[in-house]
Structure 1
């Protein structure tokens, strides 16, 4: 199909050193957000003990966080178009810091859920704000690659949650570990205030009357490209989120019988895969924009193959097979950014934030559905006892079910975009 890059200009001309400083600061804020986002995924077993809850209630902690993230993507996109990345990054980092401090102090489920709401809300403001800076500070030809690099370097925050946070959790305890994450969030907020600027050569304040808050949402939501981006993001990212944010660590430790160190090593491997594959995917996206959806579908097949490695066998897999599984599903992380690129490249500048926000919700909405459903199945099968491999295998087949829905949706919306390009007037109907 034809998926041309939008003609949004050749990109800004900015002092090179200043552009890299701004981008680097945004990267640091995003990496801190990823550490906050994924921290609960490695603390699930300790959380079950602290709050004395079964799998369904435990899954609510991650589900609430991700639901808030997904629901806020559209309003965050609209707000981003109005106030800019610097404000959104600062507020997001500070909100997550408050949420993590609360998470470390409370010991009841309702208050812990409030803390997860704050973490999800702050996280929702971060990534789309960071990548919005890329076309503002760099030439258009660099945007696909730098968007990928933003995503993959940001995933280094996952190493923070997989290694030092786990170590602090086990050695220092619950409250000090989460207080450390809160301090990280405050440092990120300071970095955003001091170093981030929305665009080059900010001059004297220009009085500007913003459009109505919801202006432009209709065209964004009617755009076939927005929904192609949404479903591309979903099918690429949702199963990885299920694995990293909630059920991967318990599955590896309780189901596959790995040690905490081995499970943490596989989480770190996921980051390595993103770092290695992301620039390659970004380069292909920039070089062959007309083949972006085909790239998404190819990676989706690889993700399915990864899940089948652990879902079909009835016995624990050797570590090397689990490593292959993690490698394959982790390709979905950088590939999900192709969905954002599709949505943004068809949107005019004034709607880029809202289009990207809608697309960025895809993987998280899919993850919410599966994470909660997996918890229900685990409780039903295990009766409140510790789940075993058979229980996890039965529950995680739900990943395959949503994968099928996502692939079909990509094919359908891909065809709609193709017809829109042939008959441009269809987009306004």
Structure 2
């Protein structure tokens, strides 16, 4: 494999959009779609293979587990060979996993195929960020990240009602066969359209000490202590369990669940763009991105509290609010990129991805295990109490980081107030002496 070298060519903004952003965004679109498609396919999968909630959660979360395992090697490969070649190899591997899933006959077969799928699609977001950052100014990255996440939201939305419409003409196996072909075509499109990006053939694997340096850095610890657990909850629940909650707790039929999931995933598009715009707007007024994240995480936890109590007047609204407000957790990438030392940003992003996807695997699989402690009724619906307990456990996991953040902010605000009062006092004294 020949590393991609030389300086990248000068491209206009329009050329960057068509030749760089769109091809990589398409890969992220397919990755998000395949990550979330089980939320709609769950009834078909359960019927075909007689899956328990624990098995359904494990099957779906295997995608996250392989995502996590591939982060470090993908990060090294992106530095050495550039995103163009790396993404081709990964998309072809992802295509193999999708086609394996289409032909799987047992739970074990599908579990392995889902893991292979995750290995292949695990670098889509990182590759896109790596390629786009070559031509985008750092101050624009929050907005561009927001647009990229919005494309992922579009992919997640496509995994809902559009998938249900396709299932009127084929079964889930035929759907995955088509998606496997599209995944391979996306990899080829990237090679054909994307210009060569600068690579570093001398890039080496990060040492244990370099990774420890990332975790020890105060900026990294401060960010993950607030946003990491909510981020894993957002990823783990939106791709599967919010749909099962609508079916089992709200008792909506499959068609209504698909429609509400479509609205929920579409909300990610608007939420992601809004987060980038709000963060830049707040920055111009002196508010740090971490403060924006703190407010957003607090609102996200409140939505989950409403899910715990099953706020009956608007169960539909809660499913949409969960994904709309939950998009604030995507700000974690921009905060790490802006606050970490330049020599640590690449490793920090890789470590962050590793933690997020491991956490999402634990949340998605663990949620299923908790719900599976109860027995379903004769229609296959699990009781409201099972979901209340599971969501309450997630809220309890997020509260310590949120409380710590606001306790940490209080001394800083008091110090700022004291300095402001001191300055006013000194100005007043000076005027009096005149």
| 1:90–1:302 distance in 2 versus 1, CA, 3 Å | same
Distance (Å, rounded) in 2 between the aligned partners of 1:196 and 1:229: 33
Instruction: Identify the residue that residue 42 of structure 1 maps to in structure 2.
Output: 40
Instruction: Identify the residue that residue 396 of structure 2 maps to in structure 1.
Output: 401
**SS of aligned partner of 2:321:** helix
- Listed as ranges, the matches of 1:236-385 within 5 Å are 236-289=230-283, 291-313=288-310, 317-318=312-313, 320-333=314-327, 335-347=328-340, 351-382=344-375
- Listed as ranges, the matches of 1:168-247 within 5 Å are 168-197=166-195, 199=197, 209-215=201-207, 216-247=210-241
| 1:326–1:364 distance in 2 versus 1, CA, 3 Å | farther
1:107 and 2:105 matched: yes
The answer as to whether partners of 2:307 and 2:391 remain within 8 angstroms in 1 is no
| 1:30–1:271 distance in 2 versus 1, CA, 3 Å | same
- Listed as ranges, the matches of 1:115-194 within 5 Å are 115-194=113-192
Distance (Å, rounded) in 1 between the aligned partners of 2:402 and 2:69: 22
Q: CA RMSD in A?
A: 2.9
Q: Which moved further from structure 2: 226-235 or 406-415?
A: 406-415
Distance (Å, rounded) in 1 between the aligned partners of 2:270 and 2:12: 28
Deviations 1:72-109 (A, max 9, x none): 32332233222222123222322221111111111111
TM-score (normalised: structure 2): 0.82
Distance (Å, rounded) in 1 between the aligned partners of 2:355 and 2:317: 26
**SS of aligned partner of 1:137:** coil
Instruction: Identify the residue that residue 7 of structure 1 maps to in structure 2.
Output: none
The answer as to whether partners of 1:305 and 1:328 remain within 8 angstroms in 2 is no
The answer as to whether partners of 2:27 and 2:124 remain within 8 angstroms in 1 is yes
Distance (Å, rounded) in 1 between the aligned partners of 2:251 and 2:405: 36
Distance (Å, rounded) in 2 between the aligned partners of 1:161 and 1:123: 16
Distance (Å, rounded) in 2 between the aligned partners of 1:209 and 1:313: 54
**SS of aligned partner of 2:133:** helix
Deviations 1:256-289 (A, max 9, x none): 1112222222222223322223233212333545
Deviations 1:328-366 (A, max 9, x none): 443222x22321112222345554332112223444333
Cα drift, residue 384 of structure 1: 9.0
Runs of 5+ consecutive residues of structure 2 not aligned to the other structure: 1-7, 411-434
Distance (Å, rounded) in 2 between the aligned partners of 1:383 and 1:252: 15
Distance (Å, rounded) in 1 between the aligned partners of 2:93 and 2:69: 16
Instruction: Identify the residue that residue 423 of structure 2 maps to in structure 1.
Output: none
| 1:349–1:62 distance in 2 versus 1, CA, 3 Å | same
Distance (Å, rounded) in 2 between the aligned partners of 1:321 and 1:379: 22
**SS of aligned partner of 1:14:** coil
TM-score (normalised: structure 1): 0.83
Runs of 5+ consecutive residues of structure 1 not aligned to the other structure: 1-10, 416-429
Distance (Å, rounded) in 1 between the aligned partners of 2:361 and 2:333: 19
Cα drift, residue 405 of structure 1: 4.1
**Count of aligned positions:** 397
Cα drift, residue 119 of structure 1: 1.5
Distance (Å, rounded) in 1 between the aligned partners of 2:186 and 2:407: 40
Instruction: Identify the residue that residue 419 of structure 2 maps to in structure 1.
Output: none
| 1:121–1:24 distance in 2 versus 1, CA, 3 Å | same
Cα drift, residue 229 of structure 1: 4.0
| 1:218–1:301 distance in 2 versus 1, CA, 3 Å | closer
Distance (Å, rounded) in 1 between the aligned partners of 2:225 and 2:151: 24
**SS of aligned partner of 2:252:** coil
